[in-house]
Structure 1
């Protein structure tokens, strides 16, 4: 089992500064906050000079919340079992996969529009009362202003407006795939949905459903379908064991792998402002695990797939994208490589961690990379540390030791999306 990575272009967090407007003497009212139902967060709200991005770092036993600028601990939220975290899409919350549900966590950083500018607030992070039942909670996808959650155990899909994830009264659209499987779904602005096709034994392709959930098109030419990324122009890419499927409108096109036989692209990283999608590339089906040293760059404009050889292997938590489309790959030699996605050229290398070896058990902690704006955050379980790297310059900004051994890393910009 593996995991997908998907990034939309986030806001440049370093550039957020509150405009000249007199500060409030109290936090925003519930009716004006970006996520109104959480405006009265425990501990009160404090107005800040600028946005306060925060990170959610899972560990065995909970989630450590860290200030993304200082890398200092803000809070600790306990959790049970194997925990996973994904941005909820509103700039303030993350969805925690815990047990048989998705649980919404408030990271306590948000903004409120005020005319031609915004006000920024922080409060104590907390668990909210928003829960979505999901046996075997899986992928969380944010696209076209909607957040879609997939329950592998039942095939149930839940969709909600990204800016209303914390509103308990917000309408939720639901759909159930014909058979449960480790899948993913994407809802588009017109109400249509892309959903993987499969069952507990195999996954074969992708279906396009209209707003009434009638099948418009389907392709079964994607064995082992896994991973999803939305690129420029609303194009969505799904990984296969012999190439990728590219969905544009109601057309599904198979782009074969450039090498024959088993050639799996199962994890992709994309931005909705760039045409080229970054993917992994594995060619040894029997390896457990395979330690690939090539990545794929899929040009959704032409269908061309460029393979790039790297000097070190990487894991499924090694792929990310920068604000300006840069392709990031964290190698097992400890180097974060920043590539030009158009040419595949490595433009910068930054020492992020010591050399490491990927564990054969995919659930064991390993170094991971996550981006917010122009900053890449890299965790190192062996030293319980995290480092912030400026992507455009390839320089280290800050490094700090965490309280717990980090597993997954996610985060929010602290700038809200409202609807």
Structure 2
């Protein structure tokens, strides 16, 4: 089955197995009991609080979609939400609707741009020279009791910027999105459920002691994880209480970079000699078992609340490509190496709907790895063979996941491919008029990676944060309180 669609901003598009893609999009985006989750990178239960008392016959009166300068911006109720792919190109940001195959928004913005999920399933933060510019992609899943209602509108740029000297990492956890400004060390926190079409309340009252390329992760009980370092280097991390006093500090994480949260709220940060893990109120070190090699950099991590195991990259030679990934088990603070068939880079890692570890390599294959065993269960040919460009800002195949579908860019052909992760088929190929670079997928559902969109279960009764004092970590001697091309340009991978 195939069909062609002609639309503004793109050449004719060949949709292979179009009905299959629509069915998978329905499973991934409309709140069924299938257990699907949305793409990594995040949101929180508090996003649904504004949707109480929703009327079955119309849009929630409390869920106010404001007006733009050209008149009323209507959100229309629809039967399901088709994913929208936001992608950058040289000179702008565009949005592709996967249901119609149309490029429905194209915004010219100069400079190299980064894309970050805002945490509410609807907005994207675009890193520009001014800061993080807010982009409303126009999908909204509104919870009503035991089901959802779905609304969509045209994409909208509210003309709002979270100002920053050097906008860097964006992380959503525990109902808050944390923005880290590398230029000043300032951390901005906001509730993504308050974004709407306006300006959320923000807390920018804390800055790290010395500015560096860092990250912050909000935790429950108003606790905060921050990286520690300065302009000359990064050495570790700290857990801060609500008053921003240090609870526990780890000074054994040289070159700290990359963060994620796994099952049971274990926070994992990458280092140059094995990651560190925050269990409750204490840090543990993962020893990198790489033989005689002292350099074992894990700088990009991908976790899910559905699994205790975190996927990470691994570089053992600053001058050689990466051909192994790591699976970090937060239950026993161990690390398993998995060899893949060809080099890969940070834009080719993600997690699947069943917590599978996904790795896109230069062979053109998307490898589906069982995180428990490290076995490659399937290899799906998606793109042609390619070679990573020397400059990390340059386009190369990039991977993003929403539910059962993996979206893969192919800059060499100006395409984005939709892949059925479970079935192993390429369901659709979208032809573009520009070369895609970065990519993120918007589903309309808030939620952190690995959460079922209907449940939003963070495992905290009554909102209380349970420090796992009875967690068995083995030998206490190992537990202090503690893209990578190997050069400075890597510090912007996230």
Structure-1-length-normalised TM-score = 0.90
Partner of 2:10: none
Larger radius of gyration: 2
Is residue 70–residue 398 contact of structure 1 (8 Å, CA) maintained in 2?
no
CA distance in 1, matches of 2:215, 2:409: 26
Counterparts of 1:9-20 in structure 2, within 5 Å, are: 13-15=25-27, 16-17=29-30
> Could you tell me how far apart the structure 1 residues matched to 2:366 and 2:298 are?
20
1:66 aligns to 2:78 (yes or no) = no
1:309 matched to 2:342:
no
The answer to whether 1:265 aligns with 2:298 is yes
Alignment map for 1:50-89 (pairs within 5 Å): 50-89=80-119
Residue 3 of structure 1 is matched in structure 2 by none
Q: Does 1:282 align with 2:315?
A: yes
User: Within 5 A, what are the aligned runs for 1:20-35?
Assistant: 24=58, 28=59, 31-33=62-64
Structure-1 residue corresponding to 2:364: 334
The structural deviation recorded for 1:166 is 3.7
State the match for 1:190 in structure 2.
Answer: 221
Distance 1:413 1:207, change over 3 A: same
Question: 1:106 aligned to 2:106?
Answer: no
- Against the structure 1 CA distance between its residues 181 and 17, is the aligned structure 2 distance closer, same or farther, given a 3 Å change threshold? closer
1:381 aligned residue (376, 387, 411):
411
Question: Is 1:226 aligned with 2:257?
Answer: yes
Count of matched residue pairs? 399
Task: Measure, in 2, the Cα distance between the counterparts of 1:157 and 1:410.
Answer: 23
Evaluate the alpha carbon distance shift between residue 191 and residue 117 of structure 1 in structure 2; reply closer, same or farther with a 3 A threshold: same
Shift of 1:403: 2.3
Change (3 A) 1:182 1:42: farther
How far off is 1:69 after superposition? 4.1
Pick from 107, 110, 122 the counterpart of residue 152 of structure 2.
Answer: 122
RMSD: 2.3
* Partner in structure 2 of residue 361 of structure 1: 391
Alignment partner of 1:323 is 2:353: yes
Report the Cα offset of residue 132 of structure 1.
0.8
User: 1:358/1:321 Cα in 2 relative to 1: closer, same or farther (>3 Å)?
Assistant: same
- Cα deviation for residue 201 of structure 1 reads 1.3
2:67–2:73 Cα contact (<8 Å) kept: no
What is the CA distance between 1:14 and its match in structure 2? 2.6
- Match for residue 134 of structure 1? 164
Deviations 1:58-82 (A, max 9, x none): 1111111011345432211221211
Q: 1:17 to 1:245 in 2, by over 3 A?
A: closer
Q: CA deviation at 1:217?
A: 1.0
CA 1:370/1:402 → structure 2, altered by over 3 Å: closer, same or farther? same
1:258/1:65 Cα in 2 relative to 1: closer, same or farther (>3 Å)? same
- Note closer, same or farther for the CA distance 1:358–1:17 as it changes in structure 2 (3 Å cut): closer
**Which stretches of structure 1, 4 residues or more, deviate above 6 A after TM superposition?**
38-41
Deviation of the 1:167 alpha carbon: 6.2
Q: Is the 8 A contact 1:235 1:247 kept in 2?
A: yes
Encode CA deviations 1:214-242: one digit per residue, 9 max, x unaligned.
11111110000000010000001000000
Q: Structure 1 stretches of 5 or more lacking a match?
A: 1-11
Q: Which is helix-richer, 1 or 2?
A: 2
Between 240-249 and 75-84, report the one with greater CA deviation.
Answer: 75-84
Per-residue CA deviation, residues 194-215 of structure 1 (Å, 9 max, x unaligned), is 0001111100000111011111
2:348–2:360 contact (8 Å) kept in structure 1? yes
**1:347–1:69 Cα change, 3 Å:** farther
